[in-house]
Amino acid sequence: MSIVFLTVVLVLAVASLTLKKSIASLISFALMMLVLGLYYIFLDEKLLGLFQIFIYTGGISVLMLFGITLIGREYKPSRKNPWTAFVASVFFILMVTLFFNNHDLLVFDNNINVEDRELFVKSYSDFVIIFALIASSLLYGTIKMMSALKRKRDV
C-alpha cells in the first residue's frame, strides 16, 4: 500500500515540475502534498499528516496561487543544462548505496508511541527564542529588499 502512495507522490512531483501550465503545475503540487499527508496518516502519524494537509495543501498552495496572479502565468523554458539530470541521478544512486551499505547499523523498534503531546515542550522550548530570531531576521531581510528595490526604481 505504501508503495502505491509513494509512487503517486513521485509521479505528481515530476508532473508539477514538467507541466507547462502554471495552474496545472500548482494543482499537481497541491495533490502531491495531499497524498503525502494521507500517507503520514496511514503511517499512524495523524498530527503530522494533518499539519501537512492544512499547511501545504491549504496554505502554501493558496500562497503560490496569489504569486501566480500577481506575477503572471508566463512559463519560462528550462535551462539547457544536460548535467542536471545526471547529477540528480548520481546523487540518488550514491545515497541509496550508502544507506543500504550501512543498513545493519540501524536498530528497529515498531512498538513505540510517537504521539507524545508534550514532546515539543520537553525538547524544544529552549529554542523558541532562536525561531523568533530567525523569523524576525527573515522579515527584516524582506523589508530591506523591498526598500532596496524601491530605491532602485526611484533612481
Partner 1 sequence: MFEIDIVFAFALFSIGLFGISSNKDFLRIFFSLEMLINSVIMILASSAKYLNLADNLPLAYMFIIIATLEAAVGILIFAAANRLTNVVTPDELNEELSQ
Q: How near is the Cβ of 107 to partner 1 at its closest, in Å?
A: 7
- Residues 45 and 84: their CA atoms lie apart, in Å, by 34
Tell which residue, 47, 28, 33, has the closest CA to residue 5.
Answer: 33
Q: How near is the Cβ of 139 to partner 1 at its closest, in Å?
A: 7
DSSP-assigned letter for residue 56:
I
Measured in residues, the chain has a length of 155
Cell digits of residue 146: 523591498
Tell which residue, 149, 152, 21, has the closest CA to residue 74.
Answer: 21
Cell digits of residue 99: 544507506
Q: How near is the Cβ of 150 to partner 1 at its closest, in Å?
A: 6
Minimum CB distance to partner 1 smaller for 71 or for 129: 71
Residue with cell 515539543: 120
* Cα 103 to the center of its chain, rounded Å: 26
Q: How near is the Cβ of 36 to partner 1 at its closest, in Å?
A: 7
